[in-house]
Amino acid sequence: MATALNVPPTAPVTTPQQMKKEEEKVDYLNLPCPIPYEEIHREALMSLKPELFEGMRFDFNKGLSPKFSLSHSVFMGPMEIPSQSSETIKIPTAHYEFGANFIDPKLMLFGRILTDGRLNARLKCDLTENLTLKANAQLSSEPHMSHGMATFDYKGKDYRSQFQLGNGALFGANYIQSVTPHLSFGGEVFWAGQHRKSGIGYAARYNTEKMVATGQVASTGLVALSYVQKVSEKVSLASDFMYNYMSRDVTASFGYDYILRQCRLRGKIDSNGVAAAFLEERLNMGLNFILSAELDHSKKDYKFGFGLTVGE
Amino acid sequence: MASRVSLKSKGKASGKGSKGSQEEKSLAQSFKEWSTWTVKKAKVITHYGFIPLVIIIGMNSEPKPHISQLLSPV
């Protein structure tokens, strides 16, 4: 066997390596653990859906110890109110948000409170080595505007399963399994008591070191396909296709993500006529400058934002 | 006509049924009320107490930060 691999020196160098890879048999009992079901579109979302904002944003993160940090955040700008008509209604608002984070390998607590009294809290706790409890809540002083959700995750050797409970009698469960070292399949089912809706969905993800392709179908009418190609260490390109077969809504988007030494630039263009870009520039250690732009030519809605982030 | 008949029969049935299952109904109802009261109190406690809880846990973690670090802007 060894002599077969000793190719003459004039042959290309990749040949012995390629032959070695083919000989490595896929060990189906030793597959890697798959990505959690809700992060199945993670690479595509990171490139195509940056946190675009309008107005001015200032974030200050102060670390009091390696595990504990406080954050102060100021935002001034128009906030969009969801409206029934096609016109977008924007109301200028300004708020200050205070936050505290505690990050431990076993317990993570994340809390943010705004000046209008809204609390956004997240908790992640490792109950055992494989079982994790995650909870998040958005509480507000207004009645019937608070939401909470708790999730139990179980991580197996090559599968993950999750059970979710939410307020308003919301139950959900999902399961994802690695089928080959590159391919994983998953499914989910949910039931919303308050809206009397239930749904089932399936997802598949194929990833290699250079590319990720995912597909998701749900009984709510959603079909989502995405493809991300890592062209080099610094550049990745992503494309996304979403189709709702109930409402006959189609959206395709294409975006890029440049991770350079001093900055991270993400841009995308949409089939709805929306072009967006998001730049994070590292001015100094711990000082980041953010620029965000979103041009919606069909709705004539142009949003520009700038901000500064201080701290890690 | 049909609605009047159905209302009468409903009234009769509830009259008969309430005497027998009054205890069960009140138990289920009191359980529901108690759980609603608990959820409401838990919501208020979380709303006011979550951030102080995170701060207390953080201030007691190693290495212990000083209280002046909590308030100063640097």
Q: ipTM for the complex?
A: 0.78
pLDDT-derived band of residue B5, with 50, 70 and 90 as boundaries?
Answer: low
At A13 the pLDDT is 47
* Candidates B32, B38, B54, B66, partner chain A, best to mutate (most A CBs within 10 A): B54
| Chain A contact for B61 (CB, 8 A cutoff) | yes
Residues of B in contact with A122 (CB under 8 A): none
Residue B12: its pLDDT value, please? Answer: 52
Interface contact B31, partner A, CB < 8 A: no
pLDDT at residue number B20: 52
Q: What residues of B are in contact with residue A100 (Cβ under 8 Å)?
A: 51, 54-55, 58
Number of A/B CB contacts below 8 angstroms equals: 53
Q: State mean pLDDT over B2-21.
A: 51
Give the per-residue pLDDT at A17. 52
Q: What is the pTM of this model?
A: 0.78
Alpha carbons within 13 angstroms on the beta-carbon side of residue A16 total: 12
Q: Test A119 with B50 for CB contact under 8 angstroms.
A: yes
- pLDDT score recorded for residue B24: 64
Arithmetic mean of pLDDT, B5-9: 51
* Confidence (pLDDT) at A7: 45
Q: Does A74 touch chain B (CB under 8 A)?
A: no
Note the pLDDT of residue B23.
65
DSSP-derived pairing of the beta strands A159-166 and A222-230: unpaired
Q: How many CB atoms lie within 10 A of CB A196?
A: 8
Query: How many of the other CB atoms lie within 10 Å of CB of A176?
Result: 25
- Where chain A has pLDDT below 50, the residues are 1-4, 6-14, 18-23
